[in-house]
Amino acid sequence: MAESKLRVELLSMTKEPIKVIYSACRQCYAAKFSYEIYKSCFDEVGQSKQEEFIKDIVK
């Protein structure tokens, strides 16, 4: 397989990066849209569980 070269640029910053990353990751596995997940993040899943989920995805 050919090697890929990635280009990454920061588009903006957020005050809640864990919540944003968690919502984006969950979009692949959930029936809800990422905005619905984002709005209900801390009601349904605490930050520590969000961080663990992200760590598992990144592995």
Domain ranges of the chain: 17-58
* pLDDT tens sequence across 3-49: 888 888 888 898 989 988 888 888 887 888 888 888 887 777 888 99
Token representation of residue 55: 């760590």
* pLDDT value, residue 10: 82
In whole angstroms, give the CA distance from residue 46 to residue 59.
21
- Give this prediction's pTM: 0.66
* pLDDT value, residue 52: 93
In whole angstroms, give the CA distance from residue 33 to residue 24.
9
Diameter over CA atoms, the chain? 44
Angle 46-21-25 from CA coordinates, rounded to 5°: 90
Torsion of CA 36, 12, 52, 41, to 10 degrees: -20
